[in-house]
Chain A
């Protein structure tokens, strides 16, 4: 099991991650991103800049609910890599490819980590401002 730890600012938790192409498994083409941890989001998403950097093609569509309306958004397959602190591993831990969406209008971060990834982790947020994310169980 591996663990990321940090301190939040009382408003949100943003962590550094790697976004990788979905396949083949040995292809580690990746780009760095800052990701919001969002337990309210069913799926993870990446901004158009990340999509363009990795040359990803949309593989489908899905309705997305928002406060204003329901719209169809393009979906993309990608993998998420998490860097490990206090670990001997040199490479990030890489999750299986997920079915994410195009994240628009994002200012503070360029990826969003939703429950498709978080449900594979142990997430803890403490009253002293600390948080931890354990994964690779």
Chain B
């Protein structure tokens, strides 16, 4: 897997994810979405479970994972640097 391939997969899946986020939030807030080729594969309660399943399903390891949340990361200390 190259960084470029994975970066493109992350970007494309993120666009797909953001477009569908509102519908996911209802029943899956806080879960982790496994995404491949701009498609939702499955939700998982923990990121590690989504990652392990991604490696199992996609031997090329090209996939992405997004937490179902509409909250940005808040860095506390760093937010004010």
Within 8 A of B (CB), among A1-47: 12, 22-24, 36, 38-43, 45
A45, A60, A105: the one within 8 Å of B10 (CB) = A60
Q: Which residue of A lies closest to B6 (CB)?
A: A57
Q: Are A61 and B77 also in contact (CB < 8 A) when A22-B48, A96-B46 are? A: no
Type the 1/0 row for B56-81, where 1 means its CB is closer than 8 Å to any CB of A: 00000101111101011111111111
Give the residues in chain B near A105, CB-CB below 8 Å. 81
Q: Determine if A67 and B72 form an interchain contact, defined as CB atoms under 8 angstroms apart.
A: no
Closest 4 CB pairs of A and B: A40-B76, A97-B48, A63-B72, A99-B47
Report which A residues bind B (CB closer than 8 A): 12, 22-24, 36, 38-43, 45, 57-67, 70, 72-75, 77, 79, 96-99, 101, 103, 105-106, 112, 114
Query: Can you list 28 A-B pairs with a CB-CB distance of less than 8 A?
Result: A23-B52, A38-B77, A40-B74, A40-B76, A41-B73, A41-B74, A41-B75, A43-B73, A57-B61, A58-B6, A58-B7, A59-B10, A59-B63, A59-B65, A60-B67, A61-B10, A61-B14, A62-B67, A63-B73, A65-B75, A65-B79, A77-B47, A77-B48, A97-B47, A99-B32, A105-B81, A112-B77, A114-B75
